[in-house]
Chain A
């Protein structure tokens, strides 16, 4: 009997404590109450301590926190921070590092907590700035830009592409675009001229067919399409007429036809094989199983590194991505990595100084020194990138961008729509659905996803 009473009391107490700890905390960093309560047992429960972690540290305006991902393998973040500190003595910059896969989740949680850290936010996927803006988590930069009369034309239109309702909430930091990689040794052996920097996609397909040779394990494919939807959709949006937030995905049809035709003709490996084998594009290109590879400019740094490490021993080249009929050579598709300022920052001016520096031409040169493609593409930057040791001498043309279309529009619903259209992409590419059905399903399901 007594035992039951005590148990009931203990349960009741813990329930109350639990609900207090669970619902009553608004700060996000308070600990559950009943932590060190073993001695008192059924008795009273200590109340949660409300500690002012934020303001207790003093809060002098010389410490800046910046959220970044994969810091250990991305030396550019530290390099920018170091250069900024060198310019601003007495300032301390702390990088808050998260693994790339987890970055968006972690950032969501940090910002939801309403903390002043991180002061500066590196936005990994540009479309996530839309949600951050809608939740009022990032500052409008317009007054800062006007105050410093900053010239946004240095970004070749990338800054305007980031605007939301005509306001600038972020500035472009890094920019990557699609280029065409090729294996010079394979072209030399076949006696075929290297891919030109002005090819249509049809010419590219013909060249890929010409470069396909061998059988079985000796087979060399003319090109390689990775399993990302980008390998169909990017070329479909390259002319800038359509985007992946569309009411009708019919514009993808000719590009699916080409992708499936190349797959059926054995010019590229089959999607099903790549998907089930979980095969990475880098291994296909590096093991010389394909003569050409359309891929993002980030792959340049990988190839330079792998060649330096002796992982590959062939010569590679890089040139402009092919283009649709009627579109100028040098028009490409890519993505922008923006920087934003946390709306709750305790050091807005310092944060702005950092953003301004990181996105300036000086910042761009630091990125270029680290083989990263900055959003600013001045002649100095292009020269720096082209002169990186190991960069192919004739590859400079790939670095000259005429125009860049974002691979995905900045839209809060993009993530939800992307999930469903990628599932249909999967079905079309493995041949479970014909193109017409797949596109009809995309239209229907994307409309559902947009509505929610």
Chain B
């Protein structure tokens, strides 16, 4: 009895010893900092050895009176509202097109996946060049087809965010295309055959078989994309730096500036918590939706 028990404990310990290194890493580098930022959000601290001071909800109150925070929030929502559906549709369309047995299919798939692995800094620099307002190829082309005053893109507060959205869709659709491709392989051929016998043609097969069968994947993609959109920072940092003015300043820019430019870690943590809450709420809503809509699968 006891020896059996001992052996069980032993087995468990061995098991845990494999998990522990990873768990420690997670704990020290993710879990603790997250908890710490909850604490910091009600404190005032500049990161030095001057002790932090409890200020209650002051940081949050300040947040909602801060015009830069409001603009950043609006910009982030604007970016997400357009980037999520556009990326989704593009990824799905490309995945359906590339889910056939044509020659050189691997080449096409690689071509669409490539932007995802390309270095972000290089991507940003090249797109900046393409969108250059005066002699960039895109505006040259627009002028060639007769548009007199093409947009000034990154040098215009109205268009800069669109440039970021376009580049984001281009860069990230490859990844979600692969996710969709994997899901497409999982749809049983029988369904299409049966539909074919019933007289369904191309578009109808997509509309009534492919898209419904992909619903769980679509939910996954929407959730991942939404989270990714709210976290956007790097592309904007490289392409516009939040400018012109504050027109592409997003929440993570705001957090970064508060923490590492102004050294207001309490205030930055409060902003981060708001971002966390927004993402959490959206994800919860989406997950509820997923349960409701994917029961049939």
Show the binding face of A for B, using Cβ within 8 Å.
2-3, 6, 10, 14, 18, 21-22, 32, 34-35, 37-39, 41-42, 105, 108-109, 111-114, 135, 137, 270, 272-273, 275-278, 415-416, 419, 423-424, 426-427, 430, 432-433, 445, 448, 452
Contacts and interface: CB of A to CB of B under 8 A. Distances in A.
Contact of A41 (B13, B67, B156): B13
A452 to B, nearest CB: 8
Given A22-B32, A108-B263, A430-B155, A273 B132 contact: yes
CB-CB nearest 4 A-B residue pairs: A272-B155, A112-B48, A427-B245, A41-B13
B101 to A, nearest CB: 44
Contact of B128 (A278, A432, A452): A278
Given A32-B28, A34-B24, A432-B157, 8 more contacts: A14-B23, A22-B32, A39-B17, A41-B20, A272-B133, A276-B155, A416-B262, A423-B245
Contacts of A278: 125, 128
Contacts of B16: 6, 10, 41-42
22 contacts: A3-B12, A14-B27, A21-B32, A34-B24, A38-B20, A41-B13, A41-B17, A41-B20, A108-B47, A112-B48, A112-B49, A273-B133, A273-B134, A275-B243, A276-B128, A276-B155, A278-B125, A423-B243, A427-B157, A427-B244, A430-B152, A433-B245
Interface of B: 8-9, 12-13, 16-17, 20-21, 23-24, 27-28, 31-32, 35-36, 47-50, 67, 125, 128-129, 131-134, 152-157, 243-246, 257, 260-264
Residue of B8, B28, B156, B263 ringed by the most chain A CB atoms within 10 A: B28
A109 B259 CA distance: 13
B244 A432 contact: yes
Interface of B is mostly: helix
Contact of B48 (A32, A108, A445, A448): A108
Nearest to A275: B155
A18 B31 contact: yes
Contacts of A37: 20, 24
A6 B125 contact: no
Nearest to B154: A276
A277 to B, nearest CB: 6
B62 to A, nearest CB: 8
Contacts of B50: 135
Residue of A42, A276, A426 ringed by the most chain B CB atoms within 10 A: A276
A316 B124 CA distance: 34
Contacts of A6: 9, 12, 16
B28 A277 contact: no
Contacts of A105: 260
Nearest to A28: B49
B80 to A, nearest CB: 23
A114 B243 contact: no
Contacts of A3: 12
Nearest to A111: B48
Residue of A270, A272, A424 ringed by the most chain B CB atoms within 10 A: A272
A41 B19 CA distance: 10
A448 B262 CA distance: 14
A164 B11 CA distance: 66
Contacts of B134: 270, 272-273
Given A14-B23, A278-B125, A423 B246 contact: yes
Contacts of B20: 10, 37-38, 41
B151 to A, nearest CB: 12
B156 A430 contact: yes
A114 B246 CA distance: 37
